Structure 1
Amino acid sequence: MNENLFASFATPTMMGLPIVILIIMFPSMMFPTPNRLITNRLSTLQQWLIQLTSKQMMTIHNKKGQTWTLMLMSLILFIGSTNLLGLLPHSFTPTTQLSMNLGMAIPLWAGAVITGFRYKTKASLAHFLPQGTPLPLIPMLIIIETISLFIQPMALAVRLTANITAGHLLIHLIGGATLVLSNISPTTALITFIILMMLTILEFAVALIQAYVFTLLVSLYLHDNT
């Protein structure tokens, strides 16, 4: 039971070779690209959503922070599309892997922190010791602030991994219960099937929300350092 439950989180292979890179590249091929002067409704909707998201996320940034707009928009599109494609049957969700999420979170966090130390050195160092701190608490407070700084990328990665993994596990468990109950009690199976449909709709929303939250937190880290 445990093997079947977590089998969907195992890295898929083809002829003994992992195909994670191909799966990661697949969502980018799903977005429509306008190849003519007159775009269709799907391309127009895509452009409108990107402009709306970038406007809400990048308004608080100065000119230096707004140079990250393209990367942050690419990040939210990648995470959102990967999460949504992972909801398809017999599919694999790369964002359920903590290693991949750390691979996204650590470089982005490090880039924001390095930018802060380069252009706002005094303000960045001031975060480690708030003004008015009592003298006996200074060493402890510096240690706490340092730990909180280095735990930020871990929090980003674990939040995304836990939310996506928990949703997939719930869908798997309720789906298995629906199949078992279909031979025992059709009425109960119908109720669990309705719950499964509602949970699937919720997971679609969670997939998009988690992409937005991940990118928004990176944007806030960048705002604090530019």
Structure 2
Amino acid sequence: MNLNLFDQFMSPSLLGIPLMAIAMTLPWALFPSPSSRLIGGRMATIQAWAIHLFTKQIFSNISPPGHKWALALITLMLLLLTTNVLGLLPYTFTPTTQLSLNMGFAIPMWLATVIMGMRSQPTATLGHLLPEGTPTPLIPILIIIETISLFIRPLALGVRLTANLTAGHLLIQLIATAAFVLLPTLPIVSILNSAILLLLTLLEIAVAMIQAYVFVLLLSLYLQENV
């Protein structure tokens, strides 16, 4: 039973060709393409408004040297958002349920913020490893703790995204299976399970959107410390 539940998180393939690349590139076809017209359509206007609002909120507290990260973070947020939400459709695959993929996003971005901080302001970056006013006997211990917390950041980013999406998908499959099995014998209970499944699906859509935002928000906070 457990094997059947977790089969949905295996990378699918067709004729030996992995389908993860298609699952990651297909969502971009949903975005409106740029137009040469002076006034764009409704979808393009909504997209521009949402990107402007997101950029303003994320980069309001970041100094100007960090504003060059705007394109990278917005692109990452749109990619995570589309793959998370579209992965809830039937007969689809969610690439962000794979820890390897999420770590591939988290580690390079986190490492880039650390390298940028070491290049631009090495003293302030290293100063984060030791809080001001620390008693002398606690200095070695706090340096070790802060160093561990620094290197565990990308792991926390990847595991948070993977765990939230995996738990939601498992709950949806469990409740859907229960509703299908109980339909011939206990139709009332099956209908109640179906109602719970609908609410859980709405909740999972919200979680998929929020997790994409939280992932980029935490990266912006790491960037804020190093610029």
Give the structure-1-normalised TM-score. 0.97
- Aligned twin of 1:10: 10
User: SS of 1:26's equivalent?
Assistant: helix
Determine the C-alpha separation between the residues in 1 that align with 2:22 and 2:176: 28
Which 10-residue stretch deviates more, 8-17 or 84-93?
8-17
Tell me the SS of whatever aligns to 2:90: coil
Equivalent residue, structure 2, for 1:162? 163
User: 1-side partners of 2:181 and 2:36: how far apart?
Assistant: 51
- Equivalence for 2:34: 34
Deviates more, 1:165-174 or 1:9-18: 9-18
Tell me the distance in 2 between the aligned counterparts of 1:26 and 1:154.
27
Deviation at 1:196, TM superposition (A): 0.2
Structure-1 residue corresponding to 2:222: 221
Q: Give the CA deviation at 1:3.
A: 2.3
Aligned residue in 1 for 2:187: 186
Matches within 5 A, 1:139-218: 139-218=140-219
Deviates more, 1:122-131 or 1:72-81: 122-131
Helix, strand or coil at the partner of 2:3: helix
Q: How many Å apart are 1:88 and its aligned residue?
A: 0.5
Query: Which aligned pairs between 1:121-140 and structure 2 lie closer than 5 A?
Result: 121-140=122-141
- How far did residue 116 of structure 1 move? 0.7
1:27 maps to amino acid: P
Whole-Å separation in 1 of the counterparts to 2:14 and 2:192: 38
Deviation at 1:34, TM superposition (A): 3.1
Q: 5+ unaligned residues in a row in structure 2: which ranges?
A: none
Q: TM-score, normalised by structure 2?
A: 0.97
Letter in 1 for 2:146: E
Whole-Å separation in 2 of the counterparts to 1:197 and 1:47: 31
* Per-residue Cα deviation, 1:181-205 (whole angstroms, up to 9, x for no partner): 1111111111110000000011111
1:19-57 deviations in Å (ceiling 9; x for gaps): 222221111222111334142211111111111111111
1:47 aligned residue: 48
The CA RMSD over aligned residues, in Å, is 1.0
- Following superposition, the deviation at residue 6 of structure 1 comes to 1.0
Q: Once the 2 structures are TM-superposed, how far is the Cα of residue 8 of structure 1 from its aligned partner?
A: 1.0
Match for residue 74 of structure 1?
A: 75
Farther off after superposition, 91-100 or 22-31:
22-31
Distance across 2 between alignment mates of 1:188 and 1:19: 37
Match of 2:22 in 1: 22
The count of aligned residue pairs is: 226
Query: Which segment drifts farther, 212-221 or 177-186?
Result: 177-186
The CA deviation string for residues 159-192 of structure 1, in whole angstroms up to 9 with x for no partner, is: 0000000000000000000001111111111111
Higher alpha-carbon deviation: 205-214 or 17-26: 17-26
The runs of 4+ residues in structure 1 deviating greater than 3 Å are none
